[in-house]
Amino acid sequence: MKDVKTPTTRSYHDYLISSLQDSEHAAAYIEVALELEEGESEPELLRAMLKDIVDARLKLNNLSEEAKFRYQKLDKILSETGGAEIYTLVELLDALGFRIAIAPKLIN
Protein backbone atom coordinates (compact mmCIF):
# COMPACT_ATOMS: atom_id res chain seq x y z
CA MET A 1 0.00 0.00 0.00
CA LYS A 2 1.37 3.41 -0.93
CA ASP A 3 1.88 6.10 1.65
CA VAL A 4 -0.60 8.87 1.06
CA LYS A 5 0.27 12.29 2.38
CA THR A 6 -2.61 14.34 3.64
CA PRO A 7 -2.17 18.03 2.98
CA THR A 8 -1.55 20.07 6.07
CA THR A 9 -3.70 23.02 6.94
CA ARG A 10 -0.86 25.32 5.91
CA SER A 11 -0.40 23.70 2.51
CA TYR A 12 -4.16 23.85 1.91
CA HIS A 13 -4.20 27.53 2.83
CA ASP A 14 -1.30 28.17 0.44
CA TYR A 15 -3.18 26.32 -2.30
CA LEU A 16 -6.36 28.27 -1.54
CA ILE A 17 -4.59 31.64 -1.67
CA SER A 18 -2.94 30.63 -4.92
CA SER A 19 -6.26 29.60 -6.49
CA LEU A 20 -7.93 32.83 -5.35
CA GLN A 21 -5.46 34.82 -7.41
CA ASP A 22 -7.72 33.91 -10.33
CA SER A 23 -10.66 36.33 -10.43
CA GLU A 24 -13.14 33.64 -11.53
CA HIS A 25 -12.20 31.44 -8.57
CA ALA A 26 -12.42 34.39 -6.18
CA ALA A 27 -15.89 35.29 -7.47
CA ALA A 28 -17.12 31.72 -7.01
CA TYR A 29 -15.60 31.66 -3.52
CA ILE A 30 -17.60 34.75 -2.48
CA GLU A 31 -20.80 33.30 -3.98
CA VAL A 32 -20.42 30.22 -1.80
CA ALA A 33 -20.42 32.41 1.31
CA LEU A 34 -23.51 34.27 0.15
CA GLU A 35 -25.54 31.23 -0.95
CA LEU A 36 -25.62 29.39 2.34
CA GLU A 37 -29.07 28.32 3.47
CA GLU A 38 -30.76 30.23 6.26
CA GLY A 39 -29.28 29.16 9.58
CA GLU A 40 -26.09 27.85 7.95
CA SER A 41 -24.32 31.19 7.68
CA GLU A 42 -21.59 31.72 10.22
CA PRO A 43 -20.77 35.28 11.19
CA GLU A 44 -17.04 34.80 10.70
CA LEU A 45 -17.25 32.92 7.40
CA LEU A 46 -17.73 35.92 5.10
CA ARG A 47 -14.98 37.83 6.92
CA ALA A 48 -12.58 34.91 6.57
CA MET A 49 -13.35 34.43 2.89
CA LEU A 50 -12.86 38.11 2.12
CA LYS A 51 -9.57 38.05 4.02
CA ASP A 52 -8.43 35.10 1.89
CA ILE A 53 -9.19 37.05 -1.28
CA VAL A 54 -7.39 40.14 0.01
CA ASP A 55 -4.41 37.96 0.97
CA ALA A 56 -4.36 36.51 -2.55
CA ARG A 57 -4.33 40.01 -4.07
CA LEU A 58 -1.60 41.10 -1.66
CA LYS A 59 0.49 38.12 -2.71
CA LEU A 60 0.13 39.28 -6.33
CA ASN A 61 0.93 42.85 -5.25
CA ASN A 62 -2.44 43.69 -6.80
CA LEU A 63 -4.42 45.48 -4.10
CA SER A 64 -4.99 49.21 -4.38
CA GLU A 65 -4.92 51.54 -1.40
CA GLU A 66 -8.63 52.17 -1.95
CA ALA A 67 -9.35 48.42 -1.84
CA LYS A 68 -7.31 48.09 1.38
CA PHE A 69 -9.26 50.96 2.93
CA ARG A 70 -12.64 49.53 1.83
CA TYR A 71 -11.69 46.06 3.08
CA GLN A 72 -10.67 47.41 6.50
CA LYS A 73 -13.91 49.40 6.74
CA LEU A 74 -16.08 46.43 5.77
CA ASP A 75 -14.14 44.06 8.04
CA LYS A 76 -14.83 46.37 10.98
CA ILE A 77 -18.55 46.44 10.14
CA LEU A 78 -18.67 42.65 9.73
CA SER A 79 -16.88 42.13 13.04
CA GLU A 80 -19.59 44.19 14.74
CA THR A 81 -22.68 42.86 12.93
CA GLY A 82 -21.65 39.40 11.76
CA GLY A 83 -22.84 40.34 8.28
CA ALA A 84 -26.50 40.26 9.29
CA GLU A 85 -27.42 42.97 6.79
CA ILE A 86 -25.73 41.19 3.91
CA TYR A 87 -27.27 37.82 4.71
CA THR A 88 -30.70 39.43 5.21
CA LEU A 89 -30.42 41.04 1.78
CA VAL A 90 -29.50 37.69 0.22
CA GLU A 91 -32.44 36.00 1.98
CA LEU A 92 -34.85 38.71 0.80
CA LEU A 93 -33.63 38.42 -2.77
CA ASP A 94 -34.03 34.65 -2.57
CA ALA A 95 -37.60 35.02 -1.30
CA LEU A 96 -38.29 37.35 -4.23
CA GLY A 97 -36.86 34.84 -6.70
CA PHE A 98 -33.48 36.48 -7.25
CA ARG A 99 -29.90 35.71 -6.36
CA ILE A 100 -26.71 37.69 -6.21
CA ALA A 101 -24.07 36.78 -8.75
CA ILE A 102 -20.45 37.82 -8.26
CA ALA A 103 -18.41 38.25 -11.43
CA PRO A 104 -14.98 39.70 -12.18
CA LYS A 105 -15.09 43.27 -13.40
CA LEU A 106 -14.28 43.60 -17.09
CA ILE A 107 -11.29 45.84 -17.61
CA ASN A 108 -10.90 47.55 -20.97
pTM for the model: 0.79
**C-alpha dist (Å) from residue 48 to 1, 18, 55, 57, 106:** 38, 16, 10, 14, 25
- pLDDT at residue 13, rounded to an integer: 86
Summarised one tens digit per residue, pLDDT across range 37-69 is: 666 667 688 899 999 999 999 999 989 999 999
